[in-house]
Structure 1
């Protein structure tokens, strides 16, 4: 078999792997330095389980709005200040209190809007509007 001889001074068609080895060594050093940082534990506070064994129902306040514009808590007629005090007392005793509003069809809409905004401002998050 005959091999051709290269001509002196002509470029050699071989892969130069020196730059490839240099890049691989630099990457190896970077990974060696970075590995302990990645393996370091993180300080994380995990959520704790909530005790769901407490099955007590939230306090329910049933407020009615009559056609004349007065508020009724249960069967008692209350003025605005007394109603707000009752709502605040209910929220203080049970933050999960539920307000059920029953407005008569001829009730003033502004009284309903006032009741809803005041209840929310005073801490009631659970509000239900029901038919009388």
Structure 2
């Protein structure tokens, strides 16, 4: 649909709606000025009302230090090298020392995580035995630490 004047007849014959010798061509452009005006008004409304929508109820809450979030998660690092030697937090330990130290860590916090690092040549039974020791000590959160695989090698 064209906006503006259109020619329905010949301008030379004088019939219909003649526009004269210098007749205008029909308009085919959409006027976007009203659209931009409406969008700018909506933008201003949203800019003004957005901060009011964040929190409509203002409260003066009491303060306490009892419920402070723990910023650093607690964990212990349990490692087994290729020879089967066990390390707790990068210090070599025997099975008895490992049990005692894991029980102490569990007594400090039940949410303590055991980050288990084992060489890929360590037998599965050894890894399961360490998981059992940690579980008996009261630590049920165990995470397995791995390395990211290197980029695809040529020829594979």
- Please tell me the root mean square deviation across aligned C-alpha atoms, in Å: 1.7
**1:110 — aligned with what?**
125
1:95 to 110, 124, 128: 110
Q: How big is the shift at 1:121?
A: 1.8
Q: How big is the shift at 1:108?
A: 2.1
Equivalences for 1:1-132 in 2 at 5 Å?
Answer: 53-131=68-146
Note if contact 1:59-1:90 (Cα within 8 Å) is conserved in structure 2.
Answer: no
In the comparison of the two structures, how many residue pairs are matched?
Answer: 82
Note if contact 2:77-2:90 (Cα within 8 Å) is conserved in structure 1.
Answer: no
Which runs of 5 or more structure 1 residues have no equivalent in the other structure?
A: 1-50
Note if contact 2:79-2:116 (Cα within 8 Å) is conserved in structure 1.
Answer: yes
Note if contact 1:58-1:94 (Cα within 8 Å) is conserved in structure 2.
Answer: no
Q: How big is the shift at 1:114?
A: 0.3
Note if contact 1:60-1:99 (Cα within 8 Å) is conserved in structure 2.
Answer: yes
Note if contact 2:77-2:116 (Cα within 8 Å) is conserved in structure 1.
Answer: yes
C-alpha distance in 2 between matches for 1:53 and 1:74 = 27
C-alpha distance in 1 between matches for 2:115 and 2:96 = 18
Q: Normalization by structure 1: what TM-score?
A: 0.56
C-alpha distance in 2 between matches for 1:52 and 1:130 = 31
Higher normalized helix content (fraction of residues) = 1
